[in-house]
Amino acid sequence: MSSLIGGTEGPWIVNVHIWHGEDWYEPLYIVDINGEPFDLTGVTLEWFARPSLDHSTRFVHLSSGSDGGIIFEDAPLGLAAIFYQKEDVEANLPINIGGKHWQQFLRMTFDDPDLGFVERHLFLGELYVRPAKEFATV
What is the tens place of the pLDDT at every residue in 33-46?
Answer: 888 999 999 999 99
CA angle 117, 106, 109 (to 5 degrees): 15
Provide the domain count of the chain. 1
Q: What is the CATH number of the domain that holds 89?
A: 2.60.40.3350
Position 7 scores a pLDDT of 61
What gap in Å lies between CA 90 and CA 79, rounded to an integer? 27
Backbone angles phi, psi at 123, to 5 degrees: -135, 150
Range of the domain at 46: 4-135
Q: What is the pLDDT of residue 97?
A: 83
Q: What is the pLDDT along the chain (138 residues), one digit of tens a residue?
A: 445 555 666 688 899 999 998 999 999 999 988 889 999 999 999 999 998 888 888 899 999 987 789 999 999 999 999 999 999 999 999 998 877 889 999 999 999 999 899 999 999 999 999 998 755 555
pTM here?
0.85
How distant, in Å, are the alpha carbons of 70, 105, 127 from that of 54? 23, 11, 14
Check residue 2 and give its pLDDT.
45
Quote the pLDDT of residue 32.
86
